[in-house]
Structure 1
Amino acid sequence: MAFPKRKNIQQSVRQQLVIVGSKNPVKIECTELGFHQALPYSFLVEGLNVSSGVTAQPVGDEETLKGATNRAVNSKAVFPEADFWVGIEGGVDHFNGEMVAFAWIVVLDKYNNMGKAKTASFILPKAISELVDGGMELGDADDKVFQRENSKEESGAVGILTKGAIDRKEYYQQAVVLALIPFLHEDLY
């Protein structure tokens, strides 16, 4: 699918405004780091509380991607003056009798072009997956099992389970960069 004609991002010299569809500091910071890593421009990244339009704990790729897409689209509707809008949605799924965690990232630009990427996935411990299967959001299940508070705005499950080797910000940052591929190679997308 080819994108409609648009101005090449590399022609712009002013600071680009990026709106993240969340006030979660981890999601804002990973977006800022990812944009600076992938694109050699100046970016101002701000968070905005918008609805994902999906359940508090999305299950499966389809619902999780829909949540990320909705966050980007809803951010654009609320603040249309920006240059980019980013939706980040964490999800879980069942695979071979175990629960895996992952996230989808969606990036929109002012020309309605879209980039998408999914993080790596990892297996959740049974104690956490049972709580999530019982209706608890992953962040709350992490807090309960690991006796923490608001871990989803800090290292997240990935940070806790890797003992800090990979924190949530780094985990999402790589997928933000991958979601920017269509904007780095406009001639191919």
Structure 2
Amino acid sequence: MQIAVGSGNPVKREAAARVFAESAVAAEPVPSGVSEQPVGHEETRRGARNRATAALRAGAYDLGVGIEGGVATFGASGAAASEDDDLFLVMWAAVTNGERWGVGAGPSLPLPEPITARVRDGEELGPVMDDVLGKSNVAEKEGAAGAFTDGSMSRTDALDAAVTAAASPFLSDLY
């Protein structure tokens, strides 16, 4: 099976390769169609779906995989989010063969308050993490998930969970 991941980020390709271990997984850098810093579950999920569609169309692939990270609140009892709500790092993935879809989320990690403040002020999480950690390209290495868990969960681990959830209709006969 030929699978395309809609990103040039090696961590995202590796996450998909873990889930589809018996398949050839290629990276296809494609636009997400959402903002550089997706805010909210809806925008983050839409970015994953957009990437999956574009990746599938980028070549002769059987499946397209889209992975998008964003920040979101959960709001009290489904109410509209307020600035008092905690902000979380969220991950969404989508898998499609052009007809069927699977969409799933990965873990949600609370952002530390100093980082939340910067993101709420309009900064993108990736560059904030680079600045806070004094490193470059954190998003292509351990990611915020790795930093927030002191390495207990890498970014690849977190994205693997999202891709696994999204791939479930293609992995199980129960769907």
**TM-score normalized by structure 2?**
0.90
CA contact (8 A) 1:35 1:176 kept: no
Q: Deviations over 1:100-146 (max 9, x none)?
A: 11110000115x21111101111101111111112221111111112
Paired with 2:85 and 2:164, the residues of 1 have a C-alpha distance of: 31
> Which residue number corresponds to residue 87 of structure 2?
99
Do structure 1's residue 23 and structure 2's residue 23 form an aligned pair?
no
In 1: Cα distance, 2:10 partner to 2:167 partner? 20
In the alignment, structure 1 residue 82 sits paired with structure 2 residue 67: no
The root-mean-square deviation of aligned C-alpha atoms, in Å, is 1.3
- Alpha-carbon shift at residue 27 of structure 1 (Å): 0.1
User: What SS class does the counterpart of residue 87 from structure 1 fall into?
Assistant: strand
Deviations for 1:14-38, whole angstroms, at most 9, x for unmatched residues? xx111000000000001000112xx
- Using the alignment, how far apart are the partners of 2:25 and 2:56 within structure 1? 14
Cα distance between partner residues in 2 of 1:27 and 1:180? 14
Post-superposition Cα deviations, 1:48-72, rounded to whole Å, max 9, x if no partner, equal 1111000001011110000000001
Counterpart of 2:80 in structure 1 is: none
Unaligned runs of 5+ in 2: 75-83
Q: For 1:32 and 1:139, how far apart are their aligned partners in 2?
A: 23
SS at match of 1:128: helix
Given candidates 111, 118, 126, the residue that maps to 1:131 is 118
Secondary structure of 2:24's counterpart equals strand
| Map of 1:150 onto structure 2 | 137
Taking the aligned partners of 1:57 and 1:184, their CA distance within structure 2 comes to 30
Query: How far 1:97 moved relative to its partner?
Result: 2.2
Match of 1:109 in 2: 97
Shift of residue 175, structure 1, vs aligned partner: 1.9
8 Å CA contact 2:4–2:64 kept in 1: the answer is: yes
Determine the C-alpha separation between the residues in 2 that align with 1:177 and 1:142: 26
Distance 1:179 1:125 in 2: 28
SS in structure 2 at match of 1:116 = strand
1:44 aligns with 2:24: yes
Contact 2:106 2:165 in 1 (8 A): no
- 5+ residue gaps, structure 1: 1-15, 37-41
Moved over 6 A (4+): none
TM-score of the aligned structures, taking structure 1 as reference length: 0.83
Q: Which moved more, 1:101-110 or 1:83-92?
A: 101-110
